Amino acid sequence: MSDVLAVVDHRRGQLRDVSYELISAGAALAEAMDGTLALAVISGNVEQFAATLDREGVDTIYTVDHGEEFNHDVYVQSIEALYDELTPTALLMPNSVNGLDYAPAIAERLGMPLVTDAIDLSYDEILTVTREMYGSKVETTVTVSEEPFAVTVRGSEWAKAEGNGGATIEPFEVSIDESAMRSTVTGFEEVGGGDVDITDADVLVSVGRGIEEEENIELVERLADALGATLSSSRPIVDNGWLPKNRQVGQSGKVVTPEVYIAIGISGAVQHVAGMKGSETIVAINTDPDAPIFDIADYGIIGDLFDVVPALIEEFDE
Amino acid sequence: MKVLVAVKEVATVEEGFELDGTTIDERYLEYDLNEWDDYAIETGVQLAEDDDDIEVVSVSIGPERAEETIRMALAKGVDRAIRVWDDTLAAAELLDVRTKAELFDAVIEAEAPDLVLTGVQAHDDSFGATGVAVAEAAGFGHAAVVNALELDADAGTAHVRRELEGGVEELTDVELPAVLTIQTGINEPRYASLRGIRMAQRKEIDVQTLADLGLDPAVVDSPIELTDMYEPESESNVELFEGDANAAAENLATVLREKGVGAE
Ligand SMILES: Cc1cc2nc3c(=O)[nH]c(=O)nc-3n(C[C@H](O)[C@H](O)[C@H](O)COP(=O)(O)OP(=O)(O)OC[C@H]3O[C@@H](n4cnc5c(N)ncnc54)[C@H](O)[C@@H]3O)c2cc1C
């Protein structure tokens, strides 16, 4: 029998969706391993979190009541203590920004092989992980022939666990060594406010690095005007300072769900797609037929935006 | 004070690529400086510009081909470069996170930097794990996904912002020595000047083997094996508008109008 320990994600008092997805991924893995699934809930309102997380497939929920917010030193020490006690075969963690702040550290400390950003897992004597490479242009499978192992799981790839698990909730005492803590969280700040709210728009014209130069932004502005749409963008456009932060769609920007999303010169990297895949209709204009954006688009033009966009403006300006 | 910047040469895949077993046919790969590392280099170089006592050293794991990319870092203002490579590394199918952490840790032991900067992730394999694993191996503090840095060298603290999801930033103080993984947008990476490029030719790239670093060849052994590579299946049934730009635009316009776009 081999067991799975999954570490849930929360922030500022809220469990993040990936926590419920981790339960689904962990329960399936535990079943394939003929083992049990335990969750680790570290910091925050652990009792309330544990009660909400008692979903189908969960056997035990260990709570570590230490501090309110995420701190990677607390996580690493807590997971190490839980690991020593439970000796699970699989350690599952979220591939979130905070996950990436502690998962590599705990895997390194425990000497485990680590595979990040899994989009699928299977287990048949050894673990097989499906993950993407080269900006989602290819998918790969990797096998891991050593146990225990650590995996981080991409968000939105597994369904959220539902139902009731009837899990045992066990407070777990960890004496955190404060002298080993090397970082302190001093606050949080919301960024990307301002006059425009792209989450309100029915139609978004969204521009990516394919636009090449700052002076070309004017071209997509004209298209947005002609369509009565709002202009948004992928991250590099904001990184370059060509549009303000409040226009950025994606994991670290805004999540948008317009009726029509027109992606122009955007490749469709996972962190971008995370912010727009809920759009009702997705249109992509891109020179590269292999661009991953076409995998989620409803309509597409494989072509040069500098030819297509002016032609489209003309269509609507007539 | 010394800043060590990890610099990776990554492959990007060109249009119309073909697979060759578990790799992409070499003809469709273009090698370049990893986008995230460009921002890490800029961060290091700016620190050195503000403080004459800061030396910036780059470290790369990679074959001789990577020297072109390393020279780019030197041209942008990195003082000297280390490249870790030998036949054992060249023969390895895949360098996993544990292996890289040991390699970088050995370099850190030799160089004793106060600050190590890496990119958040490498564009090619997108593991996003090396920096934080290195911090653990070296016993350094760390912060992942940093998009602002204020260094207080005297106090031995890095004041950073970590970019979380959904437009929330976390303000964190990290004790030095530390590893920070740098996010794009933290600064504006410079282009190398002609003078910089000339000077880079004279700068030293110190090639270190596993033996030089006091590491056993077994350090490259990995239980992780790449077993398959394929093109992902499309999730949607995309309808493509063909023909020249005008014809395609006309057909797209028809669909958009049906959806009420452009209606006043
Ligand atoms: C922690 C983290 C958070 C992130 N958060 C976000 C986020 O919130 N939002 C986000 O967008 N990204 C985010 N990213 C970055 C993401 O990984 C990608 O780097 C980014 O989305 C790429 O933007 P792009 O598609 O505009 O550029 P690229 O990937 O460079 O794509 C440009 C596209 O333009 C096409 N093109 C080029 N020329 C033309 C032309 N003339 N006509 C038509 N098409 C053309 C190319 O074929 C290519 O597909 C994040 C990354 C990390 C690690």
Closest Cβ opposite residue A116 in set B101, B128, B131: B128
Cβ of A286 closer than 6 Å to ligand 1, yes or no, is: yes
Q: Is residue A191 part of a domain?
A: no
Does one domain contain both A211 and A154? no
Helix (H, G, I), strand (E, B) or coil at B221: coil
Q: Based on C-alpha coordinates, what's the Rg of chain A?
A: 22
Q: Is residue A170 part of a domain?
A: yes
pLDDT at B69 over 70: yes
Query: In terms of residues, how long is chain B?
Result: 264
Contact of B170 with A188, CB cutoff 8 Å:
yes
Does one domain contain both A212 and A93? no
pLDDT given for residue B190 in this prediction: 97
Q: Which of A152, A180, A208 represents a domain boundary (last residue)? A: A180
pTM for the model stands at 0.97
Quick: pLDDT tens for B195-219: 999 999 999 899 999 999 999 999 9
Contact of B115 with A132, CB cutoff 8 Å:
no
Q: How many whole angstroms from A211 Cα to the centroid of ligand 1?
A: 11
Does one domain contain both A221 and A157? no
Q: Is residue A267 part of a domain?
A: yes
A47: left (phi over 0), alpha (psi -120 to 50) or beta: alpha
> Within a 10 A sphere around the Cβ of A189, how many other Cβ atoms?
10
Pairing of strands B55-61, B2-6: parallel
The ipTM of this complex is: 0.97
Each residue's pLDDT tens digit in chain A (318 positions)? 579 999 999 999 999 999 999 999 999 999 999 999 999 999 999 999 999 999 999 999 999 999 999 999 999 999 999 999 999 999 999 999 999 999 999 999 999 999 999 999 999 999 999 999 999 999 999 999 999 999 999 999 999 999 998 999 999 999 999 999 999 999 999 998 888 999 999 999 999 999 999 999 999 999 999 999 999 999 999 999 999 999 999 999 999 999 999 999 999 999 999 999 999 999 999 999 999 999 999 999 999 999 999 999 999 986
Helix, strand, coil: what percent of chain B each, to 5?
Answer: 35, 30, 35
> Which residues share a beta bridge with A221?
none
Contact of B169 with A103, CB cutoff 8 Å:
no
Q: Is residue A99 part of a domain?
A: yes
Q: How far apart are CA B34 and CA B12, in angstroms?
A: 9
Q: How far apart are CA A19 and CA A39, in angstroms?
A: 9
Considering only residues 24 to 83 of chain A, which have any Cβ-Cβ distance to chain B shorter than 8 Å? 72, 76
3-state SS string for A222-273: HHHHHHCCEEEECHHHHHCCCCCHHHEECCCCECCCCCEEEEECCCCCHHHH
pLDDT given for residue B264 in this prediction: 57
Cα–Cα separations (whole angstroms), residue B211 to B57, B138, B218: 21, 19, 11
Q: Is residue A190 part of a domain?
A: no
Q: Is residue A270 part of a domain?
A: yes
Six token digits for residue B73: 């870092």
pLDDT given for residue B234 in this prediction: 84
Q: Which residue range(s) make up the domain with A261?
A: 198-317
Does one domain contain both A31 and A58? yes
A129: phi then psi, degrees, rounded to nearest 5: -115, 135
A190 with B168: Cβ contact below 8 A:
yes
Q: Is residue A187 part of a domain?
A: no
Q: Is residue A98 part of a domain?
A: yes
C-alpha distance from A131 to closest chain B C-alpha (Å):
9
Beta-sheet strands, E only, within chain B: 2-6, 9-13, 19-20, 23-24, 29-33, 55-61, 80-84, 115-119, 141-152, 157-163, 168-175, 178-182, 205-208, 224-230, 239-240
Q: How far apart are CA B14 and CA B102, in angstroms?
A: 32
Count how many domains chain A has.
Answer: 2
C-alpha distance from A29 to closest chain B C-alpha (Å):
18
Does one domain contain both A136 and A71? yes
- The residue nearest atom 47 of ligand 1, judged by CA position, is A288
Pairing of strands B19-20, B23-24: antiparallel
Does one domain contain both A169 and A207? no
CATH class of B2-220: alpha beta
Q: How far apart are CA A3 and CA A27, in angstroms?
A: 10
Helix axes A46-53, A18-32, angle to 10 degrees: 60
> Which residues share a beta bridge with B179?
B116, B142
Q: How far apart are CA A131 and CA A136, in angstroms?
A: 9
CATH of the domain at A21: 3.40.50.620
Closest Cβ opposite residue A191 in set B169, B231, B261: B169
| Bond before A94 cis per omega within 30 degrees | no
A215 contact partners, CB below 8 Å, separation of at least 6 = none
Closest Cβ opposite residue A316 in set B120, B222, B262: B262
Does one domain contain both A66 and A158? yes
Cβ of A266 closer than 6 Å to ligand 1, yes or no, is: yes
| Confidence label for B233 from pLDDT (cuts 50, 70 and 90) | confident
A228 with B245: Cβ contact below 8 A:
no
Contact of A40 with A58, CB cutoff 8 Å:
no
Helix (H, G, I), strand (E, B) or coil at B58: strand
Helix (H, G, I), strand (E, B) or coil at B228: strand
Q: How far apart are CA B200 and CA B192, in angstroms?
A: 10
Report the run of H or E that residue B48 belongs to, with start and end: helix B35-50
Cβ of A236 closer than 6 Å to ligand 1, yes or no, is: yes
Contact of A166 with A54, CB cutoff 8 Å:
yes
Q: How far apart are CA B253 and CA A204, in angstroms?
A: 15
Mean pLDDT of B157-162: 98
Does one domain contain both A58 and A137? yes
C-alpha distance from A197 to closest chain B C-alpha (Å):
13
3-state SS string for chain A: CCCEEEECCEECCEECCHHHHHHHHHHHHHHHCCCCEEEEEECCCHHHHHHHHCCCCCCEEEEECCCCCCCHHHHHHHHHHHHHHHCCCEEEEECCCCHHHHHHHHHHHHCCCEEEEECEEEEECEEEEEEEECCCCEEEEEEECCCCEEEEECCCCCCCCCCCCCCEEEECCCCCCHHHCCEEEEEEEECCCCCCCHHHCCEEEEECHHHCCHHHHHHHHHHHHHHCCEEEECHHHHHCCCCCHHHEECCCCECCCCCEEEEECCCCCHHHHCCCCCCCEEEEEECCCCCCHHHHCCEEEECCHHHHHHHHHHHHHC
Does one domain contain both A206 and A70? no
pLDDT given for residue A161 in this prediction: 98
Where b means 16+ CB within 10 Å and e means fewer, A232-263 reads: bbbbbbbbbebbebbbbbbbbbbbbebebbbb
Q: How many whole angstroms from B120 Cα to the centroid of ligand 1?
A: 16
Cα–Cα separations (whole angstroms), residue A176 to A64, A65, A76, A106: 10, 11, 10, 15
Q: Based on C-alpha coordinates, what's the Rg of chain B?
A: 22
Does one domain contain both A227 and A99? no
Residue type, B142: H
Does one domain contain both A31 and A158? yes
Q: Which of A180, A208, A231 represents a domain boundary (last residue)? A: A180
Residue from A293, A295, A29, A1 nearest A153 by CA: A29
Q: How far apart are CA B259 and CA B224, in angstroms?
A: 48
CATH of the domain at A310: 3.40.50.1220
Does one domain contain both A122 and A27? yes
Query: In terms of residues, how long is chain A?
Result: 318
